[in-house]
Amino acid sequence: MRTLVAMIIACSALLLSGCADVKPWDRDLLAQKKMQLVPAPVDNALDEHVYFSKEAASGGQGVGGGGCGCN
């Protein structure tokens, strides 16, 4: 359990720190539909539905972030 917590904190720290400073105008690739966390929401919802009807685990996916970062 403690290793799990340490792993989570380490991953978060890694995510935040090992990151390049991407300029707002360099987010062209991130703006593309295929670069979104969930590029096809309908496919994703259908899949999730199949899998949680047939398996014991469920959920976990998140919302938001990434993308063009436009204001």
Partner 1 sequence: MSSRIFTRLVLLLLFGWAFSHTAMAAGTAPNFSLPTQAGTLALTDLKGKVVYLDFWASWCPPCRKSFPWMNEMERRYSRQGLTVVAVNLDKDHELADKFLNEVPAEFTVAFDPRGTVAESYHVPGMPSSFIIDRNGKIQAIHIGFREEDSADLEASLRSALSR
Partner 2 sequence: MQLEGPSCVRAALTAASCGLLGIASPSVIASAAGDATQADTALLYYAEHDGRVKVSEATARLEQPLGDGETVTVTPTVDVITGASPTGATMSDKPQTFTTTDTTPAYTLPLKSFSDRRYAITVDWQQPLDRLTRSVLGASASTEKDYNSLGASATLMRDFNNKLTTLSAGISGSLDSVEPAGGIVPQGLTPLASAYAVASAAPTGYFDYEYEDLSRPHIEDALTTPVAASTALVHAITTASGAVITTGNGGTSTSIVNGSIARQTKNKESVDGMIGLTQVVNRRTLMQLNYSLGVSSGYLTDPYKIISMINGTTGETVDYRTELRPDSRLRQSIYWKAVYHLNEDVIHFSYRYFWDDWGIRSNTVDLHYHFVLGDDFYVEPQFRYYTQSAADFYHHSLVDVAVLPRFASADYRLAEMKSTSYGLKLALAIGKDSEVSARVTYMKQTGNSHPANAIGVQRTLDLYPGLDAVIAQLGYSFTF
Site for partner 1, rule CB under 8 A:
6, 9-10, 13-14, 16-19, 21, 23-28, 31-32, 68-71
8/41 Cα distance (integer angstroms)? 27
Contact 47, 6 (CB under 8 A): no
Phi/psi of residue 64, nearest 5 degrees: 70, 155
Q: Work out how close the CB of 21 gets to partner 1 at its nearest, in angstroms, rounded to a whole number.
A: 6
Radius of gyration of the chain (CA): 16
Please tell me the total number of residues recorded for the chain in this structure.
71
Interaction pattern, residues 7-46, with partner 2; x per rule: CB under 8 A: -x--xx--xx-xxxxx-x-xx-xxxxxxxxxxxxxxxxxx
Q: Would you tell me which residues interact with partner 2 (CB under 8 A)?
A: 4, 8, 11-12, 15-16, 18-22, 24, 26-27, 29-46, 48-69, 71
